[in-house]
């Protein structure tokens, strides 16, 4: 296990692994998202309370999920890199940040569009909503801190540290609906035991969740490859790979 | 004065800093083709004198004249004719060496980038032209500052310890440039702690403690 | 079935449903585009570094 | 070469300094966005700190918007001359054959372009989040545009006076904020009247007058201030 | 000389850095007052920008107080390491035989003493001007005291991360403000509840917990940040 | 290595800055009583090397050892034994020269003010002891920095162009101090562009372009 971990941590190996995985992720993502969209938008019955507006869930929940998953990926990769001095960790963290930020934006926008018919307003200063907005700011902070350094090594380490410090916000986003009485509804899918949703609504949602995760994986693979290339541009293996 | 009023003259410059009477009636005349080597122990007012001469500091008493006129009265003409290089290299860290030159020299005369590149090559930092000044080494920054002085094509150079941080080759280059400038009828005031190995004549102005 | 007008109307919520689907898909598309551009730029940087190294050698 | 051939005119000088400032700004595009982000963050802080009742929000919105604009403009103002003073390039600019006033004008305009103008462009979004009704937006935009330009000039004077002082930033706010008070009062009241459906023309005219006044005297005052502190 | 005779212990090291910071602060008493004056100005700007109805003022007061405290603390935070980094003394401090954490602790405490503590002491005056009833003052004082200390630690982390960057100040706020938002929410709500006559204990406990948390982890995180940026 | 592990050694230090491979496998050993003169043209990495040696910069590869141990592992011990003087004088402008010394040296060892004053007098800036560092001249600042190095009483000195801005007397003083330090079994690494006129032996480390 430890050996495998170390092998993966070598840049050329991760570079090749990412290349091998990317098309599979992309393929799975296309299938799952395609199925989820069609089944969710066309075949699933309208919600008895929300009518057809509930269909926004098929993009909102996966986006919101990825916003948290992306941040977690970034923080964990950064922590691994900082603690064990594993350089590819920084590459993964740098690759995850913009992707996660984009899904945070997507969660905010789709959520607001959903909020208007449900709560009568696009925006409210509700704990879940606010903490999600803070998450976006944190992403921005991490990204611009990395860019603010001339020396990429220092930028990597500084933004990894900030990512770790900012991680406190992730549980806040997730649990805010339980800790405070919130406009936003609590977990429906991830509840242990029986989900309260009928299968006809649930299956496309699960497909979308899985599809978005695969999509994240595919994009991350491509970005990690790019990060590794430009970080290792002085090394001989990159030169061989590129000039070949 | 019965001599023709050309070049830079200073008459009885007095400057106090805090409670110290730093410059106590400094006078000199520097005519075209003259290099004035300003020297003296640390803290005797060489930098202070140069700042007075370039008009950044107003002396308590005394006049600085350029071509016979007090410099305050002909400020823009004087500033066109003069270039000052201070203790620090005065470069913008976020701009490249070339851009630094472009925006500094460009305010004095129109100059194409190609010419600035040539000047940078001449002072030995042609390869650093497109690096941000922030990452340059101390000596490279000095060389860029030297290129700026050159590119200004001013008559009067006021240089505060220009040999600082330069390697042996850089020092020789600077000496050659000073020789050339003075030989072509320019005026240079140079602060330095060691003797200047110029081929031409060197006047010396000693500031005593 | 898709062609029935009720589908596009989304039960009166079209104004909210379609923009959010559209925005989410746009984010997906942006991610694809920017990841590919990111990779292409990295390649350019590597090529430039190789060139610089060659010119330094010679 | 003849003097005429190579002499640099006033306009060309201003253009060159403007180009320099913009290039410095765009060299770090993320930093260009920072006054904006600051503006956004400060405006989100308020609803957070208050119980977010829409009626209360709307009543506060003009105040919040204007105070945020003021602070954000002020923060970025601090670096107007300070960065140049620290690395010695301000001295070099002052010793160039261009008049100091021209340099001040160029730097201030560049500052407004990269901070004030961007802020104005962003403000409708923020205003909407603070539940300002759409009909008040044109007035708010006009008042903010005039106001931020005036602020840039006031800030230039303050920055000129405080450059070279340690922690000049906070001192700068002490100097500029009192000067900016009339601006704030009239700007907020114009927006407020527009929200309430009243006629905001009076306050807008006053803002315009202030803007013209500072634009004409600002360069003079700022370059005088700079000359004093440079010595 | 023997090592024991001349070795400098941890506490003595912290004390020395603390003395240095305070001396630097008091060397310019006018600048010492600046975060305070900034706090005063921001809190007076609001009533100016709004129609000063007492009821509205009272509803806004906790928010205004807290936002002003946050911004004022943040602004002065910027110089925490920057001044030392610019003149090279931070490097010397880092290379001294004292652990970097000790130096960070000393600097942060000094910062809190000259900005946070002074601000807390001043707040009753401002609160009264914003027509906060006297019965809410103890809660407000307690919440501000806890809050500003927490802020100082958060600020130290942010300042450590951004030291040496151009326009680090705005980046600093981008980093620190999101982290400070929970603080703001709970601080303002404690004050708000106290004004409304409700029990603020819950929010105060939360603030106290945050304060303990940041005080214990802050030095670690801030010195790690500093070590990264110093390189 | 079969030699006893004392002093400072560097093994195959590699550092990249941007796209430049600045230090390409620098190795050396400096034993007690040794002065290592680091020289080479501008921009070849002398300053970079010194920052690696004092632990402010982590090299891409290679180790720096003090008494045989890598310096990261014995950081506080190493920092107690070492003093670094950078290109700039590293003084706090608002503190007086004496206070600057007090707070810098005080973190390494307990030292009474009187002793610091004596050190300042020794480096020729006794009269500036109570002036804020801000108003000192370039050479005076250097001399205060020199006093700081002296007062630290460290075994290892890392000095980056310490002769900068010093007048002739100041240069001689510095030479004498270096001689004394090395003579007493200390180690000094000195970056300088000219030959060092020391009486003792001088090792040379040349960094080539
Ligand atoms: C701007 C507004 C909104 C934001 C920022 C937002 C944010 C989020 C976030 C961050 C999550 C993921 C929570 C987690 O995984 O722990 C989430 C999930 C969800 N949101 Fe929203 N939301 C918004 C509006 C809405 C609205 C209006 C609705 C419906 C009335 C809604 C329904 C849901 C549902 C059903 C989930 C999935 C819950 C689960 O099973 O975990 N959201 N939202
Ligand atoms: N406020 C003040 N109070 C007392 N003395 C001051 C004050 N300001 C400056 N000085 C002194 O004035 C002198 C300024 O000298 P200046 O910088 O011109 O010296 P310099 O000849 O350039 O020296 P160097 O060779 O070290 O560069 C210094 O001796 C300094 O100590
Ligand atoms: N980001 C970067 N990109 C390219 N080159 C860089 C970068 N950062 C530093 N350099 C180069 O690395 C070298 C740093 O050298 P250093 O400052 O150690 O030189 P030095 O030997 O001390 O020179 P000097 O005698 O001028 O003080 C310089 O040549 C500089 O141009
Ligand atoms: Mg001098
Ligand atoms: Mg150097």
A8-36 pLDDT tens trace: 778 899 999 999 999 999 999 999 999 99
Residues sharing a CB contact under 8 Å with residue F172, sequence separation 6 or more, in sequence order: none
Average pLDDT, chain A: 87
Percentage with pLDDT > 70 across chain B: 98
Contact B23, B208 (CB under 8 A): no
Query: Which pLDDT score, from 0 to 100, does residue F62 have?
Result: 92
Q: Measured in whole angstroms, how far is the alpha carbon of residue D72 from the centre of its chain?
A: 8
Query: Which pLDDT score, from 0 to 100, does residue D149 have?
Result: 92
What's the D26 CA to ligand 5 centre distance in angstroms? 29
At residue D4 the predicted structure's pLDDT band, cuts being 50, 70 and 90, is: very low
Query: Which pLDDT score, from 0 to 100, does residue D144 have?
Result: 92
* Closest among A178, A51, B137, C39 to F15, alpha carbons compared: B137
Tens of pLDDT, residue by residue over A34-90, are 999 988 888 777 777 777 888 899 999 999 999 999 999 999 999 999 988 888 999
Q: Measured in whole angstroms, how far is the alpha carbon of residue E34 from the centre of its chain?
A: 14
Tens of pLDDT, residue by residue over F143-191, are 999 999 999 999 999 999 999 999 999 999 999 999 999 999 999 999 9
Query: Which pLDDT score, from 0 to 100, does residue D1 have?
Result: 40
Query: Which pLDDT score, from 0 to 100, does residue C3 have?
Result: 54
Residues of A in contact with E74 (CB under 8 A): none
Segment A218-225 shows an average pLDDT of 96
Residue A103 lies inside a defined structural domain of this protein: yes
Residue A18 lies inside a defined structural domain of this protein: no
d(CA E134, CA B161) in angstroms, rounded, equals 65
Neighbour tally for A3: CB within 10 Å: 7
Burial class of A239 by CB neighbour count within 10 A (0 to 12, 13 to 18, 19+) = middle
d(CA F131, CA B196) in angstroms, rounded, equals 32
Which two structure tokens, joined as six digits, stand for C19?
């923009």
Segment F98-122 shows an average pLDDT of 93
At residue D31 the predicted structure's pLDDT band, cuts being 50, 70 and 90, is: low
Residue A47 lies inside a defined structural domain of this protein: no
Contact B96, B129 (CB under 8 A): yes
Predicted TM-score (pTM) of the model is 0.85
Residue of E nearest to F81 (CA): E97
ipTM: 0.82
Q: Is A128 in the pocket of ligand 1 (CB under 6 A)?
A: yes
Contact B175, B198 (CB under 8 A): yes
The CA-CA-CA angle for residues A62, A67, A71, to 5°, reads 140
Query: What is the DSSP pairing of strand F82-85 with strand F156-160?
Result: parallel
Residue with more model confidence, B59 or A182: B59
At residue A123 the predicted structure's pLDDT band, cuts being 50, 70 and 90, is: confident
Residue A94 lies inside a defined structural domain of this protein: yes
d(CA B137, CA B166) in angstroms, rounded, equals 10
At residue F5 the predicted structure's pLDDT band, cuts being 50, 70 and 90, is: low
H or E element that contains B17: strand B8-17
Query: Which pLDDT score, from 0 to 100, does residue D48 have?
Result: 76
Residue A216 lies inside a defined structural domain of this protein: yes
List per-block mean pLDDT (blocks of 10 residues) for chain E, which spans 231 residues.
Answer: 58 91 81 77 76 70 86 81 86 89 93 88 88 89 93 93 75 85 85 85 90 92 89 76
At residue F44 the predicted structure's pLDDT band, cuts being 50, 70 and 90, is: very high
d(CA D175, CA D156) in angstroms, rounded, equals 11
* Closest among F102, F97, F122 to F113, alpha carbons compared: F102
At residue D29 the predicted structure's pLDDT band, cuts being 50, 70 and 90, is: low
Highest mean pLDDT among A96-105, B75-84, B127-136: A96-105
DSSP letter for F139, please. H
Is there contact between A and D if contact means ≥3 C-beta pairs under 8 Å?
Answer: yes
d(CA E76, CA E89) in angstroms, rounded, equals 19
Query: Which pLDDT score, from 0 to 100, does residue D84 have?
Result: 86
Is the predicted pLDDT of residue D3 greater than 50, yes or no? no
Query: Which pLDDT score, from 0 to 100, does residue D5 have?
Result: 45
* Contacts by residues B38-41 (CB-CB < 8 Å, ≥ 24 positions apart): B38/B189, B38/B190, B38/B191, B38/B192, B38/B205, B38/B207, B39/B191, B39/B192, B39/B193, B39/B204, B39/B205, B39/B206, B39/B207, B40/B206, B40/B207, B40/B208, B40/B209, B40/F167, B41/B208, B41/B209, B41/F139, B41/F167, B41/F169, B41/F170
Which two structure tokens, joined as six digits, stand for B136?
């340059």
Q: Alpha carbon of A129 to those of A105, A175, D215: distances in Å?
A: 12, 12, 42
Tens of pLDDT, residue by residue over B125-140, are 999 999 999 889 999 9
Which residue bears the tokens 């630097």? E24
Query: Which pLDDT score, from 0 to 100, does residue F54 have?
Result: 92
Query: Which amino acid residue places its CA nearest to atom 30 of ligand 2?
Result: F136
Query: Which pLDDT score, from 0 to 100, does residue F153 have?
Result: 92
Range of the domain at A134: 55-243
Phi, psi angle pair for B40, to nearest 5°? 145, 165
Percentage with pLDDT > 90 across chain B: 72
Phi, psi angle pair for A232, to nearest 5°? -100, 25
At residue A1 the predicted structure's pLDDT band, cuts being 50, 70 and 90, is: low
Is there contact between C and A if contact means ≥3 C-beta pairs under 8 Å?
Answer: yes
Neighbour tally for A15: CB within 10 Å: 22
Is the predicted pLDDT of residue F28 greater than 60, yes or no? yes
At residue B2 the predicted structure's pLDDT band, cuts being 50, 70 and 90, is: very low
Is the predicted pLDDT of residue B101 greater than 60, yes or no? yes
Contact F88, F132 (CB under 8 A): no
Contact E163, E169 (CB under 8 A): no
Would the CB atoms of E37 and D192 count as touching at under 8 Å?
no
At residue D209 the predicted structure's pLDDT band, cuts being 50, 70 and 90, is: very high
The mean-pLDDT minimum among A104-108, B176-180, E44-48 falls in E44-48
Contact E98, E8 (CB under 8 A): yes
Count of helices and strands (H, E) across chain B: 6, 9
H or E element that contains E78: none
Nearest to A147 among D30, D47, D54 (CB): D30
Q: Is B209 in the pocket of ligand 2 (CB under 6 A)?
A: no
Report the number of distinct structural domains present in chain A.
1
Which of F20, F38, F41, F56 best tests ligand 3's pocket when mutated (most atoms within 8 Å of CB)? F20
Average pLDDT, chain B: 91
Query: Which amino acid residue places its CA nearest to atom 2 of ligand 3?
Result: F18
Which two structure tokens, joined as six digits, stand for F130?
């109570």
Q: Is F46 in the pocket of ligand 3 (CB under 6 A)?
A: yes
Phi, psi angle pair for E32, to nearest 5°? -60, -35
- Interface probe with A: pick from E156, E175, E192, E217, most Cβ of A within 10 Å: E175
Segment D56-84 shows an average pLDDT of 80
Average pLDDT, chain D: 82
Which residue bears the tokens 């909102």? A60
d(CA D134, CA D189) in angstroms, rounded, equals 17
DSSP letter for D115, please. I
Shortest Cα distance from A79 to chain B (angstroms)? 29
Give the 3-state secondary structure of residue A125.
Answer: coil
Segment B138-146 shows an average pLDDT of 95
Which of F48, F164, F194 best tests ligand 3's pocket when mutated (most atoms within 8 Å of CB)? F48
Query: Which pLDDT score, from 0 to 100, does residue A244 have?
Result: 67
Q: Which parts of chain F are beta strand (E)?
A: 8-17, 20-30, 35-39, 61-66, 69-70, 82-85, 156-160, 187-191, 202-206
Is the predicted pLDDT of residue C54 greater than 70, yes or no? yes
Tens of pLDDT, residue by residue over A183-216, are 777 666 554 445 567 777 888 999 999 999 999 9
Highest mean pLDDT among B181-185, D40-44, E170-174: B181-185
Q: Which ligand is nearest to the CA of A120?
A: 1
Alpha helices in chain A (DSSP H): 2-8, 11-38, 57-84, 87-119, 127-148, 152-166, 169-179, 199-231, 236-243
Q: Which parts of chain B are beta strand (E)?
A: 8-17, 20-30, 35-39, 61-66, 69-70, 82-85, 156-160, 187-191, 202-206
Residue A36 lies inside a defined structural domain of this protein: no
Separation of first and last alpha carbons in chain B: 30
Neighbour tally for B3: CB within 10 Å: 10
Residue A35 lies inside a defined structural domain of this protein: no
Residue with more model confidence, A172 or E51: A172
């Amino acid at each position: 296990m430890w050996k495998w971990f170390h092998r993966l941590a070598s840049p050329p190996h991760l570079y090749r692994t990412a290349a091998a995985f990317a098309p599979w992720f992309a393929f799975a993502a296309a299938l799952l998202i395609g199925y989820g969209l069609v089944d969710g938008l066309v075949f699933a019955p309208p919600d008895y309370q929300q009518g057809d507006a509930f269909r926004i869930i098929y993009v909102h929940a996966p986006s919101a999920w990825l916003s948290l998953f992306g941040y977690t990926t970034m923080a964990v990769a950064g922590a691994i890199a900082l603690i064990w001095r594993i350089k590819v960790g920084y590459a993964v963290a740098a690759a995850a940040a913009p992707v996660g930020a984009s899904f945070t934006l997507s969660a905010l926008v789709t959520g607001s569009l959903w909020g208007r018919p449900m709560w009568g307003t696009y925006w409210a200063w509700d704990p879940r909503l606010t903490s999600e907005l803070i998450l976006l700011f944190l992403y921005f902070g991490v990204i611009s801190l990395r860019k603010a350094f001339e020396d990429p090594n220092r930028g990597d380490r500084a933004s990894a540290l900030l990512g770790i410090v900012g991680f406190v916000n992730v549980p806040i986003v997730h649990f805010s609906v339980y800790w405070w009485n919130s406009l936003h509804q609590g977990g429906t899918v991830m509840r242990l035991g029986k989900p309260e949703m009928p299968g006809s609504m649930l299956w496309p949602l699960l497909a979308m969740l899985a599809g978005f995760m695969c999509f994240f994986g595919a994009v991350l693979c491509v970005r990690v490859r790019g990060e590794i290339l430009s970080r290792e541009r002085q090394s001989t293996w990159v030169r061989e790979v590129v000039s070949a | 004065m019965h001599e023709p009023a050309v070049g830079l003259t200073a008459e009885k410059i007095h400057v106090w800093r805090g409670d110290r009477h730093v410059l106590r009636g400094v006078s000199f005349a520097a005519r075209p083709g003259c290099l004035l080597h300003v020297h003296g122990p640390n803290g005797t007012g060489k930098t202070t004198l140069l700042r007075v001469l370039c008009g950044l500091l107003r002396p308590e008493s005394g006049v600085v004249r350029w071509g016979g006129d007090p410099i305050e009265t002909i400020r823009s003409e004087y500033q066109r004719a003069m270039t000052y290089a201070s203790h620090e290299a005065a470069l913008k860290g976020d701009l490249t060496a070339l851009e630094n030159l472009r925006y500094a020299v460009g305010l004095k005369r129109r100059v194409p980038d190609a010419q600035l590149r040539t000047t940078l090559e001449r002072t030995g930092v042609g390869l650093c032209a497109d690096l941000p000044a922030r990452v340059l080494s101390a000596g490279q920054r000095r060389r860029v500052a030297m290129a700026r002085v050159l590119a200004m094509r001013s008559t009067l150079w006021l240089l505060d310890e220009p040999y600082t941080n330069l390697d042996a080759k850089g020092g020789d280059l600077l000496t050659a440039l000073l020789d050339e400038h003075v030989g072509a009828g320019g005026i240079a005031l140079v602060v330095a702690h060691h003797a200047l190995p110029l081929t031409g004549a060197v006047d010396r102005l000693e500031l005593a403690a | 079935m898709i062609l029935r007008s009720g589908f596009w109307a989304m039960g009166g919520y079209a104004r909210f449903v379609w923009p959010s689907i559209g925005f989410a898909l746009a984010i997906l598309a942006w991610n694809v585009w920017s990841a590919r551009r990111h990779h292409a730029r990295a390649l350019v940087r590597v090529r430039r570094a190789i060139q610089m190294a060659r010119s330094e050698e010679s | 070469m003849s003097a005429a051939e190579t002499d640099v005119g006033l306009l060309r000088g201003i253009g060159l300094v403007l180009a320099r400032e913009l290039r410095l700004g765009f060299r770090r595009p993320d930093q260009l966005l920072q006054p904006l982000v600051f503006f956004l963050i400060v405006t989100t802080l308020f609803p957070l700190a208050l119980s977010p009742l829409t009626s209360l929000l709307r009543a506060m919105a003009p105040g919040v918007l204007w105070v945020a604009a003021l602070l954000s403009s002020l923060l970025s103002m601090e670096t107007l001359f300070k960065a140049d003073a620290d690395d010695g390039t301000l001295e070099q600019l002052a010793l160039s054959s261009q008049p100091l006033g021209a340099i001040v004008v160029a730097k201030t305009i560049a500052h407004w372009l990269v901070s004030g103008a961007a802020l104005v462009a962003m403000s409708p979004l923020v205003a909407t989040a603070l539940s300002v009704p759409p009909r008040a937006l044109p007035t708010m935009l006009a008042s903010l545009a005039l106001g931020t330009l005036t602020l840039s000039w006031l800030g230039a004077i303050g920055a000129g006076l405080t450059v070279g002082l340690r922690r000049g930033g906070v001192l700068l706010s002490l100097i500029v904020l009192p000067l900016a008070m009339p601006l704030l009062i009239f700007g907020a009241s114009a927006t407020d009247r527009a929200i309430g459906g009243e006629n905001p023309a009076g306050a807008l005219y006053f803002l315009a007058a202030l803007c013209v006044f500072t634009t004409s005297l600002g360069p003079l005052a700022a370059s005088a201030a700079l000359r004093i502190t440079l010595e």
